[in-house]
Each structure stands twice: as structure tokens, then as C-alpha cells.
A = this chain, B = another copy of it.
Amino acid sequence: MAGQHTLNETESEVASRLGGLKLDFEAMAVTSNLFRAANSVRNHLERTVLAKSDLTWTAFVVLWVVWIWEPIETRGIAAEGGFSKATLSGVLTTLEGRGFLTRERSTSDGRLVLVSLTPAGRRLMKKLFPEFNAEERNITRHITTGDLPQAAQILRDLISATE
């Protein structure tokens, strides 16, 4: 939203549209930049690291969560990854079809489904995750305002304000 125009250009345009209504431009800048940043980082990582394995961002997150916590229940993956169970079901089917993970009904509770990686899934993550993390480091080292833990904390503040 703050694309090729400067913040001031946008602000004066907005102000003229609203005829002097009181607006919080600092809050606007934060949410606007939050989305541009998230999308930009996501697309960048998909192109630079994930594309060669034909993985989407969400598929990678699912594999990562399962890799760390296997065996893990479906609801746990959704909560950990931050998307709905409906979304997850489709992604699991995709990844199961590619042979990266398995679904198995729990014996102690017939409602639960336990997800685990296959050996191929584990091999993929062992190769991919270090590359992914190297690129994460590469991106975040451009943060010159404050330090990284502070950046992480600001984002956590936003999460707790909305969850």
C-alpha cells in the first residue's frame, strides 16, 4: 500500500478524501507495511529456496512443524502453523500424495489423526531447512532499526493484540 508513492503523498491524498477526519497515520503505516513485508518475504523465500522443491510456503510450514513435533495431531499442526484445519486438510492430502508424510488414526482416541514424516520427508527437510534459514538470516540482517529480538517482540505484541 505504500508502494511507489511516499508516505506523505499517500497521507495528503487520504486526508483530502476524508475532509479533515482524524486518522492515525502511524497505525496505518504499521499495518500497511506489515502486509507488504510478510508478502514480500514470503514470495522471496518461495522463489529463492522453495521453488526448486516445488513447495509452497504453507506446505513448507506444515513439513517444518511435523518435522519438529512428529507425531503430531492435525489440530496441533494448524495451531502451530497459524491456519485453519480446513486449509490444513488439503495441504496434508497434497503432501501425503507426494510421499513426504503419512496420516495415521490414533489408537487411543479414534477422532485424532497423527501425522509423521516419511524418510523422504525427513531427507527433504534436512537439506532444505539450513538453506531456508540461511536466507532468513540474509533477509533479516538488513534490519538496521533496533535489533532482531526487538523486531521479534514488536511482532509478538501485534499477535497478542489480535489473537
Contact = CB atoms under 8 A, between A and B. Distances in A.
Nearest to A23: B133
A82 B149 CA distance: 27
Contacts of A40: 82, 158-159, 162-163
A139 interface: yes
A21 B43 CA distance: 26
Contact of A142 (B41, B125, B133, B157): B157
Contact of A144 (B30, B157, B162, B163): B157
Interface stretch (A1-9, A96-104, A106-114): A1-9
Given A33-B159, A38-B35, A68 B142 contact: no
Size category of the binding interface on chain A: 35 or more
From A21, A35, A80, A146, name the one whose CB has the most chain B CB atoms within 10 angstroms: A35
A162 B79 contact: no
Interface in A1-54: 1, 3-5, 10, 13-14, 17-18, 21, 23-24, 26-31, 33-45
B148 A26 contact: yes
A24 B129 CA distance: 11
Contacts of A24: 133-134, 136-137, 140
